[in-house]
Amino acid sequence: MDIPVVELKDVSFSYGGPRVLEKVNMKVEKGDFFALIGPNGAAKTTLMKIMLGLVVPDEGEVKLFGKNVRSFRQWQKIAYVPQHGGQINLSFPATVREIVASGLFGKAGSLKGKSVDEAVRKAMATVGIEPLAARLIGELSEGQRQKVFLARSLVGNPEALFLDEPTTGIDSESQEEFYGLLENLNKGRGLTVVMITHDIGMACGMANKIGCVSSGKVDVHENMKDVTEDHIAEIMGYSIKK
């Protein structure tokens, strides 16, 4: 049995008031496509940041690849695509190539010179943004920017990818393309994917586990044969337009 990629034991968290997460227990195994869904304000982003050690929980234990997240240092194993396609500084004078390469800057200096160029080229090719390499980030559409962030996260060849609502604000055609890329990475390369999304259809179609975040709890559904979109929507209090 492989060591779980993420393991949360009795994790609780509050922003000073009532707890937004209460004794959360969950595991993400190697190769999982784990979708985290829930209404706005359900603390999905907080939960992901706790998994990554960006937010410290009040109680409980968080492990990344079997290590306590506070002492986790194997940064090359993980990559993160934050929820900020529209929030970055659009006047930042950086080309797509420079931003994708920045995904390697903290990775223990393992790559140099030509290997960096090659890794950057491969990552851009994987998500289909090679023709945009010399463009400034502010000149791209939101969909293209999200692909740049995906390429940046893939350039270090991670084992697990964490995405926070990566398709928010992009058109449905680009969303489908983005999901297709993730599916290939998960099924083709065995990349573990943890993704926050509001898209129940995508979650039911692509994920092998769904974590429903609501009222401070996370209900994990593993047997996807028994899980329907309606079922999840009902749990989450969503209405699905037929």
Partner 1 sequence: MEIFQYSFMVRAFAAGIASAVLASTIGVFVVLRRMSMVGDSLSHASLAGIAAGMFFGFYPFYGAVAFSVLAALLVEMVRVTFKRYAEVALAVVMSASMGAAVVMISLGRSFNADLFSYLFGSLMAVTEEDIKLIIILGFFVMAALYLLRRQLFSIAFDEETARLSGIPVNTVNVLFSILTALTVAISVRIVGTLLVSALIVIPAAVSLQLARSFNSAIFVSNVVAAFSVITGLYLSFYFDLAPGGTIVLIASAVLFVVLLVKRR
Give the residue with the Cβ less far from partner 1, 44 or 152: 152
CB of 82 to partner 1, least distance (A): 6
Give the whole-angstrom CA distance, residue 151 versus residue 135: 15
24: left (phi over 0), alpha (psi -120 to 50) or beta: beta
CB of 107 to partner 1, least distance (A): 6
Contacts of 97 (CB under 8 A, 6+ apart): 120, 124, 133, 134
Instruction: Please give the residue ranges that form the binding site for partner 1 (CB under 8 A).
Output: 52, 54, 73, 75-76, 78-80, 82, 84, 88-89, 91-95, 98-99, 102-108, 134, 136, 152, 156
Give the residue with the Cβ less far from partner 1, 84 or 189: 84
Give the residue with the Cβ less far from partner 1, 91 or 172: 91
Give the residue with the Cβ less far from partner 1, 129 or 236: 129
CB of 35 to partner 1, least distance (A): 20
Is residue 62 within 8 A of residue 10, CB to CB? The reply is: no
Give the whole-angstrom CA distance, residue 51 versus residue 49: 5
CB of 162 to partner 1, least distance (A): 8
Is residue 235 within 8 A of residue 203, CB to CB? The reply is: no
In the DSSP assignment, the letter for residue 177 is H
**Position 11, amino acid:** V
CB of 103 to partner 1, least distance (A): 6
Q: Cite the DSSP H helix spans in 102-171.
A: 113-127, 142-154
Is residue 178 within 8 A of residue 143, CB to CB? The reply is: yes
Give the residue with the Cβ less far from partner 1, 152 or 221: 152
